[in-house]
Amino acid sequence: IMESSKPHVAIISSPGMGHVIPCLELAKCLVSYHDVEVSFFVPSTEASVQQTQLLESLVVPEDLHIIKLPPVDISNIVPINNEIVARLTLIVQESLPDVRSEILKSPRPPTVLISDMFSTHAFEIADDFKMAKYLFCTFSATVLAYMMYTPKLAQETNIDSQEIPESLNVPGCKPVLVQDLGGRDRLFHLNGGKVQSVFGHIYNYAKASAILVNTFEDLEPQTLQGLSDDNVRWTIPMPPLYPVGPIIKSAESPSIGKSDYYLAWLDNQPSGSVLFISFGSGGTLSADQTNELALGLELSKQRFLWVVRPPQDFTPAAYISAVGGVNDPSEYLPDGFLTRTSGIGLVIPNWVSQIDVLNHGSIGAFLSHCGWNSILESLVNGVPLLTWPLYAEQHWNAMMLTQDFGVAVQLAKASEEGVVGRERIERAVRLVMEEEEGKVLRNRAKELKSSAIKTMGKDGSSYGSLSKLVKKWNEISCPCKP
């Protein structure tokens, strides 16, 4: 029997659905369209109800090996301080010995290792086994540029005393006002001690042979061009970028909650008439804000499908604690809300198969926390958005949606404190669902939808980027043992 000569790639995902979903889709894409063998390593966590379901419902193609790593217990290592990146990093680090032993066991070890944004400590393994190192950026190119620029920003300013300039001039990008990103305090990961855990990764990004970015040329044309300009000087080396996106789940793939009653409910609604509301895998709102959102929706008199979670004061609460526990919306939604809106609105506890919802013809707009995967999923389905960023790089994404892509209305402002009132919610919802502005946004979303589809096709630029990479991987010979 001839040994396979396909390149064998190891993809190491960090925990969390926002990381596991795109990494898994990248794996599937490489196996199905680019004749690559992939070993997909996924750490497990306490918050892995959805993750387990996702992996269990998967129809795995022959050359894709899913390697579920044994759960790790980090409770003795970090105090529960709610710092997400530090936790993800630790979980990955604690899982690395298991990754190593799996690779040692492999009869034909991988020659390429792809890490996501928060699993870059796996590069140590790549070095030991002489594998080529790549990064899969599950954020936008613009946010990646900003991250690569933070070491310089840290050199020039005193981050701890929050002396951050009023506008940021990230190489290759147009200047942005810090105000538009939620102000100094909210600037992505620059607040206080949080910067440390992200910095460790940023310096690793610079060590990658190249960065695969989940974006496409028509979406971020200036930034992608600016970033590949050799005259731009970075403090740390900027590896070559390959826009390979949008890599998202496809609606027909078996997914969590498929054939659920909410899809049947959507079947009975008029085309483009329903507002979808979801805050990603981790977003939660305070009790006051949940109340106000409910009343705003009711005032708007629009149809809606809302994924609700019990109120929490800490916004990304669901990211680090299991979703899927007891959740009775009648306990925390305003009195009588469910009865008054029945027939017009549908409230779903915890989780829906978002890609199936966004792909449904009855959806007219998406009120989103602006996670990058959610944005790509919305665009691929031509659905305009209302922005409600909560944490991480979501403020930056929200700004891009309104200012650069022209597909969204700003709802919750990045810089504001306190609760977004029901009247503002009502106005924004009507604007997108009923008025001329909504049509303009929808048309722009449709344009981006067609470029997204084109770029992933055989003649498209994102498809071409992946082909180029695979060609390089084909040239890497002998599987090397350390």
- Please tell me whether residue 374 binds ligand UDP under the rule CB under 6 A: yes
Report the alpha-carbon distance of residue 429 to residue 276 in Å, rounded.
Answer: 11
Min dist. Cβ of residue 84 to ligand UDP (A): 10
- 288 labelled catalytic: no
Of 371, 384, 389, 460, the one binding ligand UDP (CB under 6 A) is: 371
Min dist. Cβ of residue 182 to ligand UDP (A): 16
Contact at 8 Å (CB) between 306 and 277?
Answer: yes
Binding to ligand UDP (CB under 6 A) within 293-312 occurs at 307
> Of the candidates 65, 4, 74, which has an alpha carbon nearest to the alpha carbon of residue 39?
65
- Please tell me whether residue 351 binds ligand UDP under the rule CB under 6 A: yes
- Please tell me whether residue 354 binds ligand UDP under the rule CB under 6 A: yes
Each residue 141-180 as x (binds ligand UDP by CB under 6 A) or -, in order, gives: ----------------------------------------
Report the alpha-carbon distance of residue 177 to residue 183 in Å, rounded.
Answer: 8
What tokens appear for 115 in the block?
A: 């890490």
> Of the candidates 328, 281, 335, 333, which has an alpha carbon nearest to the alpha carbon of residue 304?
333
Of 198, 355, 408, 420, the one binding ligand UDP (CB under 6 A) is: 355
Min dist. Cβ of residue 352 to ligand UDP (A): 5
Min dist. Cβ of residue 389 to ligand UDP (A): 10
- Please tell me whether residue 245 binds ligand UDP under the rule CB under 6 A: no
Report the alpha-carbon distance of residue 240 to residue 228 in Å, rounded.
Answer: 7
Each residue 251-280 as x (binds ligand UDP by CB under 6 A) or -, in order, gives: ---------------------------x-x
Which residue, 118 or 372, has its beta carbon nearer to ligand UDP?
A: 372
CA 293 remoteness from chain centre: 24
- Please tell me whether residue 401 binds ligand UDP under the rule CB under 6 A: no
- Please tell me whether residue 396 binds ligand UDP under the rule CB under 6 A: no
Of 377, 398, 399, 422, the one binding ligand UDP (CB under 6 A) is: 377
Min dist. Cβ of residue 101 to ligand UDP (A): 29
- Please tell me whether residue 410 binds ligand UDP under the rule CB under 6 A: no
Which residue, 150 or 278, has its beta carbon nearer to ligand UDP?
A: 278
Which residue, 374 or 387, has its beta carbon nearer to ligand UDP?
A: 374
Report the alpha-carbon distance of residue 212 to residue 417 in Å, rounded.
Answer: 36
Which residue, 111 or 281, has its beta carbon nearer to ligand UDP?
A: 281
Which residue, 149 or 372, has its beta carbon nearer to ligand UDP?
A: 372
Going 453 to 455 to 459 to 465, the CA torsion angle's sign is negative
- Please tell me whether residue 188 binds ligand UDP under the rule CB under 6 A: no
Binding to ligand UDP (CB under 6 A) within 8-47 occurs at 17-18, 21
Residue 135, CB half-sphere, CA atoms under 13 Å: how many? 27
Candidates 116, 180, 218, 356; catalytic one: 116
Q: Give Cα separations from 389 to 89, 228, 289 (angstroms).
A: 23, 29, 14
Min dist. Cβ of residue 112 to ligand UDP (A): 25
Q: What region, left, alpha or beta, does residue 357 occupy, with left being phi > 0 and alpha being psi -120 to 50 degrees?
A: alpha
Amino acid making up residue 120: T
Candidates 114-122, 196-204, 368-376, 408-416; binding stretch for ligand UDP (CB under 6 A):
368-376
DSSP assignment of 53-68: HHHHT----TTEEEEE
Min dist. Cβ of residue 102 to ligand UDP (A): 26
Report the alpha-carbon distance of residue 375 to residue 123 in Å, rounded.
Answer: 29
Question: Which stretch of DSSP H or E encloses residue 115?
Answer: strand 112-115
Report the alpha-carbon distance of residue 370 to residue 140 in Å, rounded.
Answer: 12
Residue with CB nearest ligand UDP?
Answer: 18
Q: Are strands 345-349 and 112-115 parallel, antiparallel or unpaired?
A: unpaired
Max Cα separation, the chain? Answer: 70
Q: CB burial class (10 A; 0-12, 13-18, 19+) of residue 100?
A: middle
Interior/surface letters 27-45, b for 16+ CB within 10 angstroms, e for the rest: bbbbbeebebbbbbbbbbb
Of 353, 362, 378, 465, the one binding ligand UDP (CB under 6 A) is: 353
What tokens appear for 100 in the block?
A: 């190593």
- 19 labelled catalytic: yes
Which residue, 377 or 426, has its beta carbon nearer to ligand UDP?
A: 377
Candidates 19, 34, 201, 369; catalytic one: 19
Helix (H, G, I), strand (E, B) or coil at 232: coil
Interacting residues with ligand UDP (CB under 6 A): 17-18, 21, 278, 280-282, 307, 351-355, 371-374, 377
List active site positions: 19, 116
